[in-house]
Amino acid sequence: MANLSPGCIVSLGSLEPCMNEKTEQDLRHALGNARAETEALKSMLGKAADSLEDIVEANCSTEEQEKAIATARRLRRVIERTSGSGKVSASSGSVSS
C-alpha cells in the first residue's frame, strides 16, 4: 500500500499517494512564473500604448491619430482588466496606480 501523508484524501479504488511536497513546490514555482510572465506582458502592452501615443504626435492625419489613440486605449483597458489595480483615464486613456 502507498504511504499517505496525514490528512491526505485518496479516492476510492486509488492507492496513489497525494501530492507530495516536491509536486506542490513545482506547482508554486510554475504559478510564480506565470504571474511574472503576466506582469511582463502587461508592461509590454503599456509600452506599446506609450509608443502609439508618441507616434501619433508625429505628422499623422487626424484619422490615423484617432485610430492610434483608440488602439492605445484598448491596450490600457486590457492591462486594467487583468490587474484591477490601475484606472484608465477617460480623457487620455492612460493608466494610473
DSSP 58: S
Residue range 62-87: mean pLDDT, rounded: 80
pLDDT at 14: 54
33 pLDDT tier (thresholds 50, 70, 90) = very high
> Which positions ≥6 away from 68 have C-beta within 8 Å?
52, 53, 55, 56, 60
pLDDT exceeds cutoff 70 at 15 = no
Buried b (16+ CB within 10 A) or exposed e, 16-43: eeeeeeeeeeeeeeeeeeeeeeeeeebe
pLDDT in tens, 43-64: 988 888 888 888 777 677 888 8
Share above pLDDT 70 across residues of the chain, in percent, rounded to a whole number:
65
